[in-house]
Each structure stands twice: as C-alpha cells, then as structure tokens.
Amino acid sequence: MEAIVVHFRQGRHHINPHQVVLKAAPSAEEAKKMIGKSVTWTSPTGKEIVGKVSALHGRTGSVRAIFADKGLPGQSLGQKVKVE
C-alpha cells in the first residue's frame, strides 16, 4: 500500500522532521487499519528510511508516522512511501 508525505508535524516555532503527516486513505476508518504498520521512504540514491505509523491525524484519512533513527529530508514532501 502507498501513502503520500503531506507535511512535517510542527508547532508554532519548531518543525519536527521525525514526525510526518501522511495521506493514506480516503476515510478515517480505512486509515485506522494502518496504525502500527511500517513505513519506508526510498531516496533517489537508493537509501531507505524506515518509520512506523503511530496514530490518526484528523478525520480525513491522514495518519502520523514517526521515523525514530533519522528524520525525513525536505525533498520527501509530496513523494510516495510504502506502508507494509
């Protein structure tokens, strides 16, 4: 299954590249089934960064993913990630 990186999770003064908002499904009920699954982003050079879906983000089918070891770079915005 695929999802699209929509935005980094952020506050008023800080952007957190380890937490990302993904557009994963058309509804919240379908997105709820993805919680706990692993997320993989592949860079243009072939490196893979792995994270995990942690929670729903709103009621429109978006989810939050946490990349613990290394955050995602800015070039990942708008790109597809694999959800397994």
CATH number at residue 11: 2.40.10.190
Please tell me the distance from the alpha carbon of residue 47 to that of residue 72, in angstroms, as a whole number. 11
Six-digit token pair at 49? Answer: 């960064």
Residue 71 has what pLDDT? Answer: 92
Residue 80: strand, helix, or coil = strand
Residue 29 has what pLDDT? Answer: 94
**What residue ranges of the chain have pLDDT lower than 70?**
none
| Total count of domains within the chain | 1
Count CB neighbours of 35 within 10 A: 14
Is 38 in contact with 81 (CB distance < 8 Å)? no
- Domain holding 13, by residue range, is 2-83
Residue 69 has what pLDDT? Answer: 87
Residue 81 has what pLDDT? Answer: 97
pTM value surpassing 0.75: yes
